[in-house]
Structure formats: structure tokens, C-alpha cells
Structure 1
Amino acid sequence: MEISQFKSEEVHQKFLALYHDAMKKLPIPQDTFDINTAYGTVRVYRFGNRGGIPILLFSGRAASTPMWEPNITGLLKTHDVYSMDLLGEPGLSIQTNPIKDHKQQAAWVEDVLMQLNLTKVHLLGVSFGGWTVVNYAVYYPKYIASIIVLDPALVFAPFSLKIILFSLIATLPFVPEYWRKKSMSWISGGAEVDSKNSTSRLISIGLKDFTIKTPAPKQFTVEQLNSIHAPILVIFAGKSIVHDSAKALVRAKSLSNHVEAEVWPAASHAINGEFPNEINERVNKFLSGLTL
């Protein structure tokens, strides 16, 4: 079957050890859920217990909940936070049935929200997580209070040649480890990658040793983007290698007036980790200005 999975049980066990180590750096979750959907079991964590409309986090490609370590504590000052490991990506969610199209990629998110009994939720995604948020909004808008996407991949602009090259270096098994580390530094704006950092190692393993079998993302049409009526905040990274952020900004601003879009010139694609306080402040400002 076309199921996303680790390439070996040995790699899977190594990943799990690093994952549990990385989770120790996050606040202790109030609840942990393993939610059954039509396409597999989705791991979800709930942080905080203040009530109100929570924020639901969507991680980037080959990433999972530990990547949000720089952000969760700050976001908890104003909102409860849920985070899930995306189905079809390396994490504690387990895909059991093929996901054949983009509507099915959105359908499992709908299953999760229904079973969490969340009547309204703010969606916050980075990179591919941003694409997943928008894809969900295109098909299932019912529960969405607002959308925040950080340097979203393939939403407002096509992939650059740089990100295609990065993908090849990061995923091909015969590429030397030195090149792989340099490519991780490249996507992070030239910052040195700490080989002892469990979150960085999780992403590296996910890119190299996890086979993704979900449908490849496609750039959304103007009609699809304009079909979304929830308020949207888009923050592009000026140093992103994923796309041309200036062109992406123009397209985002050409949509209806419920979209706030801006470029942060000093940020790379690793924007949530580089500017966690600034991201948290901007998210809070955006959410506090909504009329819900």
C-alpha cells in the first residue's frame, strides 16, 4: 500500500528516542490524544487550560511537535495551544490507509477537529504546515476562526530552484552527511546546525529515512484562495529559499481585504525558531484585533 513510513524499524526506534528527548524541552501537555481518522491515528497534544478559542499548530515538512519548542510557552500566555504530528509525516501519527488526493489530506484534519470537539480554532502553520492549513481551509472552513501562516510553501508562489536543490541534497541516501548539514544550514539562513540538537536531528532523519507517500502539494489557484473567508495573517521570510517572497507578497496582497501580508527581511525559512518572541507578539496582535 502507498503508506508513509520509516525505512526500517531501527531508524524508527532511533527517531522515537530523539522525539521523546525533544519533547522534554516543551511545557508538559495537559492532555495527549491519539485520534483515529479514516487514514490513520493522529497524535495531538493540548497545552494550557485557559479556555477560549485555541491555536492549533501545523508543523513543517519532515517535522513534528518538537519543532514548536521556541513558540509554545509564549503562545500560552494568551491562548491554549494544540499541536499535532501531521499524518504522512515523521512523528507519532501513524498512517494506515492511502491518502490519494488533497481533499483526503484535508479530511483527516476535519476528523481530528470533530473528535476534539473544537467548535472554533485558530490555525497556525509553518512551511508545508502552512500549505496544509490552507488546503484544509479550501475544503473544510467550518471550524476556522483565523489562519496564520509563516513562510508557507507553495501557497502564494511556486517553488524556487534553490528549494528543489535543497530537497535533493537532504533526501537522497548517497549524499555525504557534510552536504546534508550544509543544506540544513542553507535553509536556515546560514546558521550553523547543532548536530546535538534533538529537534534538528529529528528533521534530518525525517528527510532522509522517512518515505512520504501523500500527494505532492500544488500551488493554489486564485479562486481557491479567494474561497477562504477566515481572516488570514501571512508572514514571509525575506531570506527564504523556498520561493520569491517579494512576488509571494504581491499575490497575497492581491486577494480580498481579509488578508494581512508582510515580509520580514531578516528572517529565513526557519522563521519560527529565529524570531519566536516577535512571532508570538505578532500572532497575539493579529488575534486580539479579530471580531469573532
Structure 2
Amino acid sequence: MPLVLLPGRASASPVWADNLPSLLTIGDVYTVDLLGEPGMSIQDRPITGDDDQAAWLHQVLEALPEEAFHLVGLSIGGWTAANLALHQPGRIETLTLIDPVYVFDDMPWRTIARSLPASLSWLPKSWRDSFNSYTAGGAPVEDVPVAHMIEAGMKHYSLKLPQPVRICEDRLATLDMPVLAILAGRSVMHDAQTAARTAERALPVGTVHTYKDASHAISGEYPERIAKDIAAFTAAHRATTPEN
């Protein structure tokens, strides 16, 4: 079964550039730009809530030739993947959530406060670079192509999406497919220890890995390790299916 990759906020498929070589050793890969975000997906009607977010992604999976997929979401893409699993899980074989936001913990107020100036397109580029560096553990971003893409999306694209709703533990407990949570120990999007405890407590069929030294830019920092963990996770799941 192929992997379907969902990127984070204000980014698109190129955010997976460092991951694709290792992920393609697992199997075929689809990348999907989130609807309502910068990228190649074109929104033609309003998205008003969680149901709409699940509906468009379900339609994408229905349009693909395979019957089921390993769904992988990064950051807000992780929330989008989990939201689909809660509303229309039929085509999801496994779910991998890479440092997802609003899934296992709330976003800290400090991060929310720092994100507000970065969302104002008329402020200098340095403000957006500063926020992107903050999410990447303080790493410089001025000469990083993916960071340039994200900054351009923040400046030139106007989001018209509802605020994601934090997924509560009772709802996480209804997920009956295997879930792999890969968390960044230095993430500014949640408290990693709190998120790990929530995932371990709430997920009925969950595997939780915390990369101690990773920032929220975890996908670019640890591409081979992520691929290795996804490969082991999906292989273990295949080993437990009745037809195998």
C-alpha cells in the first residue's frame, strides 16, 4: 500500500524533499498539498469545519487507484490526517503523525503569540524568518530553500480556514487503526512529554517515538530515522493482518 504524505502549514510537497529518497524505499508515495494552504491544490468552496476538512481529503483518496493507504501527516498535516481518521477512516490502513499540532497537546501560548506577527504579510521578511527559526530550534533559515517556500507562503497566501479544534482523548480512543506518533523532544508546538503521555494513554493501537533532540523541523532533521520507523511500523502491521 502506498504512503500518502500531508505537509504542514504554509508549505507544500517540497517540504518532503529530504524524506522522499528514503520513503520511496518503503513503497510508492503520493504527496498532497493541503486544501486551503499554499500549493497546487485549488480550493473552490469554503471550508467551514472539521467535516469539510475530512470530506476533501476523503475525496482525494477515493480518486486514487488503490483501496487503502498508509497516511502520514506532518504538523498541521498530522491534525488533518487524524481528523480524517476520525470522520472517514475506511481507506486508512495505518496513520503516522509526525509532531502533529492540536492532537496530543495544546499549542503553548508563547508559540501562538510569536506566530501572530509572522502572519502579517506587510511586516518585514525577518519577522517570518525569526518565527520559522524559532520552530526549527533556532537554526538559521535564511539560506534554506524549504524555509524560503514557507516564508513565501506566509507572505503571499491568505488563509481562509477555520482554526483546528484540539482532538480530545476520548476521540483519540476511537481510532482503531494502528497509529505511529513521532514527536520532537524540542518542539515548540506542544510539550513533548505531555504529548507522549497522551498518545500512550489514549491510542488503542499506538506506537510512540520521541526524538529527544529534534525540533518541529523534525522531518528535515531526521529523514532516514523517520523512514526506518515508518518501515518497521508498517511491516509490523502487515505481519499481523489475516491474509499474511
Q: Which interval holds the TM-score relative to the shorter structure?
A: over 0.9
State the number of aligned residues: 239
1:276 correspondence with 2:223: yes
Letter in 2 for 1:141: P
Q: Does 1:205 align with 2:205?
A: no
Cα offset, 1:186, TM superposition: 1.1
Q: What's the CA shift string for 1:152-194, capped at 9, x where partnerless?
A: 0000100112321231132123433223222211110111113
The match for 2:141 is 193
Identify if the C-alpha distance between structure 1 residues 120 and 234 changes in structure 2 by more than 3 Å, giving closer, same or farther.
same
> Which of these residues, 185, 198, 215, is aligned with residue 238 of structure 1?
185
CA distance in 1 between partners of 2:80 and 2:115 (Å)? 18
Query: Could you say which residue in structure 1 is the equivalent of 2:104?
Result: 156
SS of the residue aligned with 1:156?
coil
TM-score by length of 1: 0.79
Give the ranges of 4+ consecutive aligned residues of structure 1 lying more than 6 Å apart after TM superposition. Answer: none
Cα offsets for 1:225-251 (capped at 9, x unmatched): 111111000011111011111111111
CA distance in 2, matches of 1:121, 1:133: 11
1:214 positional shift: 1.7
Structure holding more strand per residue: 1
**Percent of counterpart pairs with the same letter?**
37
Structure 1, unmatched stretches of 5+, are 1-52
Distance 1:252 1:66 in 2: 28
- Pairwise CA distance, 1:57: 0.1
Q: How large is the Cα RMSD of the aligned pairs?
A: 1.3
Aligned equivalent of 1:133: 81
Which stretches in structure 2 are left out of the alignment for 5+ residues?
none
2: CA distance, partners of 1:80 / 1:134: 21
The residue type equivalent to 2:17 in the other structure is E
Letter in 1 for 2:187: S
Partner amino acid for 1:245? A
Tell whether the 8 Å contact from 2:8 to 2:76 is kept in structure 1 after alignment: yes
Aligned residues of 1:170 and 1:204 also touching (Cα < 8 A) = no
TM-score by length of 2: 0.94
- Residue 213 of structure 2: aligned partner: 266
Aligned residue among 150, 171, 177 for 2:119: 171
How far residue 112 of structure 1 moved from its aligned partner, in angstroms, is 0.8
